[in-house]
Structure 1
Amino acid sequence: MSIAHLPFDQPGGPLDVPPQLRELRTQGAVHEIRTRVGDPAWLVTGYEEVRQLLDDDRLGRSHPDPENAARSGESALFGGPLGNHATEHADHQRMRSLLQPHFTPGRMRAFRSRVETLTSELLDDLVRQPPPADLLAALAVPLPILVICELLGVPYEDRARFRAWSQAAADVLDRGRSEQGLGDLFGYCQELVAKKRRTPGDDVISRLCATEGVGDGGEGGDAKAGDDEVGDDEIAMLSTALLFAGHETTVVQLGLGALLLLTNPGQAQALRENPDLIKGAVEEILRAPGKGGGGIPRYAHTDLVVDGVTIRAGDLVMLDNGAANHDAAVYPDPDRFDITRRGPSHLTFGHGMRYCVGAPLARMELQVAFGQLLRRFPEMRLAVDVEELVVRADLLTGGLVELPVTW
């Protein structure tokens, strides 16, 4: 039997579980595969196995020999090892301790009214357009960008530049382009930090700059960090991660979530009739898309056995949270989109020590966006056949190229 090769094709459309992945899952929870660049890896597809390994400190993003480590793709963000192998866990905890206070559920509730206003303004613009329209361009792309700009204190007029750099950084096929994009995005965030030093505002980057123990760095913003301090480059690095993840992944979820609702009109109508179902609906929107990209890359830091398979130290392990979200042992009839579904939490945001810091923000954005969209556009429908929709195969985050709708 030949070894499966990522990414898996989705011939049925962007929401369907790839047939090759479906076949693999009948053979167990751990599979020998080749990544999109041809390197060997293990693909983990079972819900319980993925959940446990996401919170297992025997796996990490770093590798003791990064130059010779297997790669999942050419992206500078997630294509290969990241971080210092000796200090990875401590570095990760430090990062989380710096970021979590700015993305608590309480802070997101306080910010919700602003997101509601931004969403309403975008939908006002859409109302004024004659159909058909691209729902990605009208809502799914601009809303997360507006939100992350306001949270971080990033000028919205810079959106074309930082989105272009973000998409370059996410390129899984061209490492040179990805590295250049990530470098440009980091350089931009260094400039932002320097500006916040001079003129702080009420935003996350300014508050990071004001973190206790950071020197003022002088007029040029060149603060140096001691062992316990937060220096400007570290703040710029954190800002780079927030600027990328804070909009790019939500753009994808908004597009796929809208497609799920448009292709399941009965579920959309149930949500219109009972808006209190929105929280559960968003959780199902986060769970339901069938993805074929391989999931979350990790490296084994020691030998371990998973579902009877021995994984050696240094091996690349792909934790396929999309496949785990479709595990029939956990989710009955997993391919059915059901906004009233009950059961264990999906793994789209990860689990445990690396659970996504921005999850409260993403949930809130999706709840607001879909709540307003369904109410204001009850007749909205796809303007093309679902089979005509195209998924971005060149980007780490995937997502639709466009989503034509009419009403």
Structure 2
Amino acid sequence: MAIKRVPTMAGDEAWLVTGYDQVKALLADRRLGRGHPDPDNAPRFTNSVVLGKPHKATAEEENEKHALMRRMLAPEFSAKNMEAMRPRVRQLLNNLLDDLVEQDQPADFHEAVSFPLPVLVICELLGVPAADREEFRGWSEAMSTLNDEQKSMEGFAKLWGYMGELVARKKEEPADDVISRLIGQHPDAREEEVAQLSAGLLFAGHETTVAAIDRAVMLLSLHPGQWRTLRNPDAIPPVVEEVLRHRAPLERRSDDSGMPRYAMADIEVEGTTIPAGDLVLLGIDQANRDERRFPDPAAFLPRVPNPHLSFGHGFRFCVGAPLARVELTETLEALVTRFTTFGLAGDLAALSRRTEQLVGGVVQLPVRWTEA
């Protein structure tokens, strides 16, 4: 059954859709969104400010706002622009790896590379001082806390406030960065809207990529045969896509979960009518393991084509996908170039998971290596 009723982490009920074809269709359905006519009484997915309470909006308002956001961001994060960032990503990555190899083994790859790389890149793109990254980490972790609504709201308020001050400064002293260009090219946009959009970019621009880089190291450590294939540069993109499709080896998240959206009209799925106002969970992880699309879905192996839905689909396809792919590709190429052997140090089961954060992932990732 591709659709069923499930309880949410916040204690409400939602419709969970898990089939690949059904999830793909709903991702492109403009009757689904983050808006709700009565947000205070809407069913909740989590008690986090991130993907928690919906905002008040009609379907028309939701789609207009989303279209505006796409017009503002899509040119900045185009595949062409992100390809132009590749040399800079490579430079930042090599600097981090230089510092890593100076450490005693085992060293924490999460702290040395996985976390700082996406933060440095998104900060540079947006025009945010990377020196403030420890503050971003605290705010981001607070924002995505699942079990403490007040902590989540405080983290978001601090990040939004910080970005508001930064936007005001860049309005007076623009620079060559995304925030300055958003202000200059969209003068009708209010400062608070640019600040909120920038805060979302800063959060989304590093949290998921950090987890993906860690996941790549874990998966390749468990599948050394795939590690060896990376010495052929043509083999790297398919492995990147499989990392994006695959769930983390330590992932224990319930299969009764997914990306939250609200039905803004009655929607029929597999003969079942989802009433307007109901919460819908799009099971992207489950869809990425649909055997009808991905034979032997639990296996970690390059698949061409690999039509995973990790970045969404249709008009809501993630604008940051090209950047995430560049960062993952550069990381794998650098590791296989610089090291003869590289992988986890110790038992995978001994790793500590970030169970209270929405994105999940690991707290630390100890690794060992042999330099080439």
TM-score between both structures, scaled by the size of structure 2: 0.95
Deviations 1:120-156 (A, max 9, x none): 0000111111100111001100000110111011111
How many residues in Structure 1 have an aligned counterpart in Structure 2?
363
- The answer to whether structure 1 residue 276 and structure 2 residue 223 are counterparts is no
Give the Å deviation of 1:322. Answer: 0.6
8 Å CA contact 1:304–1:312 kept in 2: the answer is yes
Find 1:146's aligned residue among 111, 120, 128: 120
Deviating more after overlay: 173-182 vs 341-350: 341-350
Match of 1:187 among 153, 161, 178: 161
Give me the whole-angstrom Cα distance separating, in 2, the residues matched to 1:392 and 1:309: 35
Hey, what does 1:38 align to over in structure 2? 11
**Structure 2 CA distance, aligned partners of 1:83 and 1:142?**
35
**Aligned match of 1:383:** 345
For residue 33 of structure 1, report the CA deviation from its aligned partner: 0.6
Q: What are the superposed Cα offsets for residues 81-102 of structure 1, whole Å, 9 maximum, x if unpaired?
A: 1352351110110011111110
Shift of 1:179: 0.8
1:312: Cα distance to partner? 1.5
Aligned partner of 2:333 in structure 1 is 371
Q: 1:260 aligns with which of 213, 216, 219?
A: 219
Structure 1 residue ranges, 4+ long, deviating more than 3 angstroms after superposition: none
Give runs of aligned pairs for residues 103-252 of structure 1, distance below 5 A. Answer: 103-212=77-186, 214=187, 229-252=188-211
CA distance in 1, matches of 2:31, 2:180: 35
Residues 344 and 375 of structure 1: CA distance in aligned 2, closer, same or farther (over 3 Å)? closer
1:304 pairs with 2:283: no
Q: Verify the 8 A CA contact 1:330 1:343 in the aligned structure 2.
A: no
Q: TM-score, normalised by structure 1?
A: 0.87
Residue in 2 aligned with 1:343? 305
1:295 Cα deviation from its structure 2 partner? 2.1
Cα shift readout 1:43-77 (whole Å, capped 9, x = no counterpart): 11111110000011121111111111111101112
Q: CA deviation at 1:310?
A: 2.4
Q: Percent identity?
A: 49
Q: Do the aligned residues in 1 keep the contact of 2:12 with 2:45 (CA within 8 Å)?
A: yes
- Structure 1 unaligned residues grouped into runs of 5+: 1-27, 215-228
Query: Aligned in 2, Cα 1:390/1:83: closer, same or farther, shift over 3 Å?
Result: farther
Task: Give the alignment's Cα RMSD to 1 decimal.
Answer: 1.3
Inter-partner Cα distance in structure 1 for 2:343 and 2:213:
15
- 1:116 partner letter: R
- 1:313 pairs with one of 276, 279, 283: 276
Distance across 2 between alignment mates of 1:390 and 1:71: 28
CA distance in 1, matches of 2:49, 2:19: 27
1:14-62: CA deviation from partner (whole Å, max 9, x where unpaired): xxxxxxxxxxxxxx11121101121111111111110000011121111
Please, which of 81, 84, 97 is the counterpart of residue 54 of structure 2?
Answer: 81
1:94 counterpart SS class: helix
Deviates most, 373-382 or 234-243: 373-382
Residues 277-301 of structure 1 show CA distances to partners (whole Å, capped at 9, x for unaligned) of 1111111110011653522101111
For the residue of structure 2 that corresponds to 1:299, the secondary structure is strand
Q: How far off is 1:304 after superposition?
A: 2.0
Kept in 2, the 8 Å contact 1:299–1:316? The answer is yes
